[in-house]
Amino acid sequence: MESVQAIKQRFGIIGNDPRLNRAIEKATQVAPTDISVLVTGESGVGKESIPKIIHQLSHRKHGKYIAVNCGAIPEGTIDSELFGHEKGAFTGATSTRSGYFEVADGGTIFLDEVGELPLTTQVRLLRVLENGEFIKVGSSKVQKTNVRIVAATNVNMFEAIKKEKFREDLYYRLSTVEINLPALRERKNDIHLLFRKFASDFAIKYKMPTVKLTDDAVALLLKYRWNGNIRQLRNVAEQVSVLEHNRTINALTLQHYLPNTGSNLPVVVNNSKSESDFSSEREILYKVLFDMKSDLNDLKKLTMELMKKGNVSEIQKDHEHLIQKIYGDKENDFEGTDNAENVELLAIPEHSEVSEITLEAEDKYHFAEEIQEEETLSLQDKELELIKKSLERHNGKRKLAAAELGISERTLYRKIKQYDL
Ligand SMILES: Nc1ncnc2c1ncn2[C@@H]1O[C@H](COP(=O)(O)OP(=O)(O)O)[C@@H](O)[C@H]1O
Ligand SMILES: [Mg+2]
């Protein structure tokens, strides 16, 4: 059996916490069986790698792996997405369509945020788990499928059962084996390691020197609550890497990137998470664009001079400062020995075995072609979210929202109709 260390390398998992190791070990132990697994843990703890490990180490690895975010599919279409539909089953069903359970026959389905499934879908799912049977929406024909199910949740399932939002019988079916991933605040020894790994990744991505933390900044990282866990840590590492000019980061600077620091009040759960996510993403993009524009202007200036004068060494002398600004100086170059060492130390080797899923430290699903639809769906969700937020911000004034979104009022009107806002 592959060692836990080897699996971590293969799947890009960083950390040495004993509970993380135990979770990976459990995943490798159940992988060869068809047992249903429920992955639990707060949002952002890394639940998505567990079903990938299970699929890749199982006899189903040549079959399909389909990841479905149950929370992102509208209630009205989820049955059809999962189980397919017959032609004419509902308005717009112009042809028969196979659902994920049919397509993934012989493979694995990952049901993320399974706690969000509507009760009617839960009944259908229970049937698949019990005897591999399902019925397309609008059909009466029973079909068979052989699918291994791995589910994940960040909600307390017992509470959901108590509130009658989740069927108890389904919960027990799904969680034959439960794999729990610890919150980041409980993995103190991994926090700085993860930050260094992300900082070195972003240094490569944005072609900038790697940021380094002072001791007091490291202490702050360890003390912080990390409600968004590794996803939040990665976000912070990205923002700091892009926005901070001085590449040595102290606690005072770092504090600006950590909501709710600097006070002894209990940490408030951040309800406007998606909004702040969008604004910080936008900030990063603006910064990158501004920097690119400024570099471009400098390059234009240099090219113009070259065309006019044609004398390279003279121009080099006259514009030393400009050249340094665009190309950077040797000492700070991110390929400098110090950082290169850091990068190599933390780099995860490429692996060729994973054919169906490309594993990156990206925060999104990667799956086989037939899942494209799901990706479109999540893009639509993003758009919908952006429109909603913008309308909220402008108290429903379409003109202002359209201007902010960079679209015409007419397009916005069309989208509002489309999404039934
Ligand atoms: N141990 C880890 N090492 C490196 N990156 C990780 C680790 N755990 C999580 N991540 C990254 O953190 C982000 C959130 O992980 P994800 O699996 O989507 O969390 P969850 O599904 O639990 O909300 C992803 O970008 C993922 O690649
Ligand atoms: Mg997730």
Nearest CA to ligand 1 atom 5: 13
Nearest CA to ligand 1 atom 24: 363
SS3 39: strand
- In ligand 1, which atom is closest to the CA atom of 48? 17
Return d(Cα 154, Cα 166) in angstroms, integer. 14
Return d(Cα 37, Cα 109) in angstroms, integer. 11
Return d(Cα 173, Cα 130) in angstroms, integer. 8
Separation of first and last alpha carbons in the chain:
52
The DSSP bridge pattern shows strands 142-144 and 133-135 to be antiparallel
Residue with token string 């380094």? 212
Does residue 47 have its Cβ closer than 6 Å to ligand 1?
yes
- Taking the C-alpha atoms of 113, 118, 120 and 124 in order, what is their torsion angle to the nearest 10 degrees? -10
pLDDT of residue 183: 97
- Residue (of 271, 290, 289, 287) closest to 389 by Cα position: 271
Does residue 319 have its Cβ closer than 6 Å to ligand 1?
no
pLDDT of residue 368: 29
SS3 296: helix
Does residue 51 have its Cβ closer than 6 Å to ligand 1?
no
Residues forming beta bridges with residue 38, ordered by sequence position: 151, 178
Assign residue 155 a region: left if phi > 0, alpha if psi is -120 to 50, beta otherwise? beta
Return d(Cα 379, Cα 98) in angstroms, integer. 22
Cβ atoms of residues 124 and 82 within 8 Å: yes
Nearest CA to ligand 1 atom 20: 44
pLDDT of residue 205: 95
Assign residue 92 a region: left if phi > 0, alpha if psi is -120 to 50, beta otherwise? left
Identify the DSSP state of 270.
-
- Ligand nearest to the CA of residue 226, numbered in listed order: 1
Residues forming beta bridges with residue 133, ordered by sequence position: 144
- Ligand nearest to the CA of residue 70, numbered in listed order: 2
Q: Which tokens go with 373? A: 């639809």
| Residue 235 Cα to ligand 2 middle (Å) | 15
Return d(Cα 370, Cα 359) in angstroms, integer. 17
Q: Which tokens go with 231? A: 């996803």
- In ligand 1, which atom is closest to the CA atom of 360? 27
- In ligand 1, which atom is closest to the CA atom of 234? 12
Return d(Cα 217, Cα 178) in angstroms, integer. 36
| Residue 413 Cα to ligand 2 middle (Å) | 32
Counting ligand 1 atoms within 8 A of each CB, the residue from 186, 195, 230, 274 with the most, and so the one to mutate, is 230
The whole-number mean pLDDT for each consecutive block of 10 residues of the chain, a chain of 421 residues, reads 92 97 98 97 97 98 97 93 94 92 97 96 97 96 97 95 97 97 97 97 95 97 96 97 95 93 48 47 64 76 78 78 64 36 31 34 36 47 80 84 80 81 77
- Ligand nearest to the CA of residue 233, numbered in listed order: 1
- In ligand 1, which atom is closest to the CA atom of 41? 22
Q: Rounded to two decimals, what is the model's pTM? A: 0.67
| Residue 183 Cα to ligand 2 middle (Å) | 13
Does residue 209 have its Cβ closer than 6 Å to ligand 1?
no
Does residue 21 have its Cβ closer than 6 Å to ligand 1?
no
Burial class (CB in 10 A: 0-12, 13-18, 19+), 185: middle
Nearest CA to ligand 1 atom 25: 363
| Residue 323 Cα to ligand 2 middle (Å) | 44
pLDDT of residue 342: 29
Does residue 157 have its Cβ closer than 6 Å to ligand 1?
no
- Ligand nearest to the CA of residue 361, numbered in listed order: 1
- Ligand nearest to the CA of residue 44, numbered in listed order: 1
- Residue (of 268, 239, 269) closest to 255 by Cα position: 239
| Residue 231 Cα to ligand 1 middle (Å) | 6
